[in-house]
Amino acid sequence: MHRFVVRVRYGDTDPMGFAYYANYLRWFEIGRAEMLRDLGMTYRSVEETGFHLPVLDVRCRYLEPARYDDAVAIETGVASIRRASVRFAYRVVRQADGRLLALGSTEHCFLDRAGRPARPPPALAELLGRAPKAEEHPKP
């Protein structure tokens, strides 16, 4: 899986000192965008082709909390590609001890310029086809 490291900032935490749960969804987006960038295509370049990738479904299973100043690795891969959708899977791992903190997935629809579901453009389909693979339903 593709790996990108972020650090939990003070403003990312809740009153218990844990990383606020919604930040994991933001980290999934960061992991997804950085994986695409490393493969040679930015989100902006995808949108310039006339396609958008809105989220249809998001799931996150929290296993252990991340805390202020933890360096966490967002591991991202493509779990499945269908005719007009793609599912990404994620693992959030604390770098210091390798502990698995969360598992997640997002499903996205390929929308064309008219806002209709469509097959992805060839360049994006090829890029996603060579992206790191991930389990469809990751388990702890």
Q: For residues 66 and 60, what is the distance between their CA atoms, to the nearest angstrom?
A: 14
Residue with tokens 């779990």: 79
Helices and strands (H, E) in the chain, number of each type: 3, 5
Instruction: Specify the amino acid at residue 118.
Output: A
Task: Summarize pLDDT for 22-53 with one digit per residue, the tens.
Answer: 999 999 999 999 999 999 999 899 889 899 99
pLDDT at 111: 95
Model confidence band, residue 137 (pLDDT cutoffs 50, 70, 90): low
pTM for the full model? 0.93
Domains of the chain and any CATH numbers: 2-129 (3.10.129.10)
Show Cβ contacts of residue 29 under 8 Å, excluding neighbours closer than 6 positions: none
State whether the Cα torsion 132-26-117-36 is positive or negative: negative
